[in-house]
Every structure is written in structure tokens, then in C-alpha cells.
Structure 1
Amino acid sequence: MKLNPEKEAIETVAKLMLISARTAPKAKGDDEIVTGIVSQEEKEAIAQEMELIGQKETHKFFKRDAQNVRDAEAVILIGLNFTKPAGVNCGACGYDCNTILKQKTFKVEYSGPICTIRAIDLGIAIGSLVSVAKELGVDNRVMYSIGATAKKLGLMDAQIILGIPLSIKGKNIFFDRKPV
């Protein structure tokens, strides 16, 4: 008898989640969403870097989140590779669609400016992605800390990246965590 055979399905679940993100509605049908499943080696590299970043007073939660990365069966990355504004001139980014790409790029943990409509596309894709995990009973949590670390490590070509660790355990490891 195999122990914990449900954990063998995690890669399939992750792939199904990525399909949902890919097929989520996007403004004007333009898809600037990038996705990936982190390898075990990348997962450990992310956790180690998160521990280093977590030494900063403002980023203590990165260290806590690093343990969630290690304890997760898989980690998904999803990001926005912004190359073209939506063309609606909404102004939410602080510019118009004709000038946003001409602005100086600011790089902190994320890069900008970016089109707000494209960022909304990312949010919709994330909602679609995590809904698959929920329907399949896989615990998950959308984490800024994982994405910012993946960006720092150059794991994905995107201005904004978020990480979603996946867990199949008797208790959800992403809640009831120690406050930082």
C-alpha cells in the first residue's frame, strides 16, 4: 500500500491550475500572463533567499513564509510581463496609454509603471487559478514574498510575480501561522 498517494497528484493539480490562469478572461484578449511550476531546486533557492531577505525589519514575514515554501508540496509562480497597455486611457497608472512605455522604469521588488488594466488581468487569472485548487481540496495561499523573491532570483520575466504554494496535509499550513 502506498502512503499518501494523494501527494502524487500535486503536479497534475498545479498544471490544471495553470490552465485556468491561461484561459481566464483578459482585456481585449491580450495575454501578458506568465506562469510556471517551481522545481524542487528552485523551491529551496527561493526559501534560502527569503530567509536572507527576512533579516530586514520590514520583511520579517519573508522568513516565516520561507518555511511555508519548504513545507509545500509544490509552488506555482504567476506574473505579468507587461509589454503593451490595454489602450483604454483609464489613467489609473498615472499616464496615458501613449506615454506609459516611455516612462523611466522603477525597480524595487516589482517594476513599474505598468498598465492597471493588465494588473487587473493578473488578479483575475490568480482568482481563476486558486479556484481550481479550492475545488480540488488543495490548500494554497497567494504570497507576495515568494513572487518578489522569484523576481530577485530572475526565475521569471515579469514586472510583477506572485507565488502560490500548494499543500496537501491534514491541516492547512498557511493559516494559524506565527505572527512576525
Structure 2
Amino acid sequence: MKVNPELEIVEELAKQILVAARTAPKAKGVDDLVFGLITDPEEREKLAQEMEKIAEEKGAAFKFFKRDADNVRNSDAVILISLNFNKPLGLDCGICGFRCEELVKQEKSSLDFDGPVCGIKLLDMGIALGSAVAKAKDLCVDNRIMYTVGVAAKRLNLIKGTVIMGIPLSVKGKNIYFDRPPVK
């Protein structure tokens, strides 16, 4: 008899979740998304430690990085969804604050992510994130989109990209991503 065999399938479920993200609609059919999957506990620990380091560097207002680091430690897997922005779509829509030809000339920020980026490409990323968490819900896998995971993943160069978000996954008796302790 196997005890708690449901934990053996988390990686396969994560791959199904990534299929939902990959097949989400993209503007003009241009897919600039890159996906990653962390299942190794040591890799999750390294990510969590980086999140804690960021919390210390950024100060009191960013203590939530530590809370999220504990969530990463207690997760069964972590999905990374990255926008690898190369060029705008040529729509001159102004969402980013510029015409497309002006956007590419802008100096990149040295903040958590490398903005500015095309607003339409960020919408594509958002739709993919939404598709991923909807699929996770359908599969009864607890999850939460976390900016904090993406910041740490970018710092560790875990995945190529301009903007990165993380989706920790958990298969436990209680959803670890909600009713979390307050940030102290």
C-alpha cells in the first residue's frame, strides 16, 4: 500500500497547468512567455532564502517576502511564468506610455523587473497566469500568484525574462496560501 500517493503526481499536474498557460491567447499570436518548474526541495529552499534576503534588504514594508518564503518552503512545486520581452507589437496603443518606437529606446529600470515593457505583452502574461491558476483550481491544486517569487527568481537568474511571476503549488489538507499569519 502507498501512503499519500497524491504527492507523486504534483509534477505531472504542474505540467498540465503549464499547458493551460501556454495555450492561453496571445496578442497577434506572438508568444514571448517562458515557463519554469521547480520541484526539487533544495531549489525551493534556495528560492525561499533569496526571498528572505530581499525582505531584509528592502526593509520593514517588505516583510511579506518572508511570509511568502515560508509558503515556498511548504509548497510541493513552484511554477515560474516569465515575460521575455523583446519588442513591442507595433500597435502604438500607448498602454506603456510610449509609441512602440519610443518604448524600445527607453532605458531599462534597475528595479525588481526590467521595465518599461509593452502593456499588451503584460496583458498576455496576465491571461496566461489566469489560465494557469484556473487549471490548478480545476485540478484541486492549491496555488497563489506571487510577485515575490518572481523577484527572487529573477535575482537568481532561474529563468530568462523581463518580468517573472511565481505560482507555488500545494496538495495538503488545508490551503497554505490563505488565512496566513499576519506579516510581523
Give percent identity, aligned residues only: 56
The alignment partner of 1:94 has SS state of: coil
The corresponding residue for 1:34 is: 34
The alignment partner of 1:36 has SS state of: strand
Please give the alpha-carbon distance, in whole angstroms, between the structure 2 residues aligned to 1:165 and 1:13: 12
Match of 1:70, as an amino acid? R
Please give the alpha-carbon distance, in whole angstroms, between the structure 2 residues aligned to 1:142 and 1:77: 10
Please give the alpha-carbon distance, in whole angstroms, between the structure 1 residues aligned to 2:88 and 2:49: 35
- Could you report, residue by residue, the CA deviation over 1:12-46 in whole angstroms, capped at 9, with x for unpaired residues? 01101111111110000000011010142321111
**1:138 is aligned to 2:136:** no
- Could you report, residue by residue, the CA deviation over 1:98-128 in whole angstroms, capped at 9, with x for unpaired residues? 1211111112011111000000000000011
TM-score normalised per structure 2: 0.95
- Could you report, residue by residue, the CA deviation over 1:141-160 in whole angstroms, capped at 9, with x for unpaired residues? 00000011100111111111
Aligned Cα root-mean-square deviation (Å): 0.9
The aligned runs of 1:1-180 (5 Å cut-off) are 1-40=1-40, 41-55=42-56, 56-180=59-183
Please give the alpha-carbon distance, in whole angstroms, between the structure 1 residues aligned to 2:60 and 2:112: 16
Aligned-pair distance for 1:58?
2.1
Please give the alpha-carbon distance, in whole angstroms, between the structure 2 residues aligned to 1:18 and 1:57: 34
Q: How many correspondences in the alignment?
A: 180
Please give the alpha-carbon distance, in whole angstroms, between the structure 2 residues aligned to 1:52 and 1:27: 36
Q: Runs of 4 or more off by more than 4 Å in structure 1?
A: none
User: Unaligned 5+ residue runs, structure 2?
Assistant: none
User: Unaligned 5+ residue runs, structure 1?
Assistant: none
TM-score normalised per structure 1: 0.97
Please give the alpha-carbon distance, in whole angstroms, between the structure 1 residues aligned to 2:18 and 2:136: 10
Match of 1:32, as an amino acid? D
Match of 2:133, as an amino acid? V
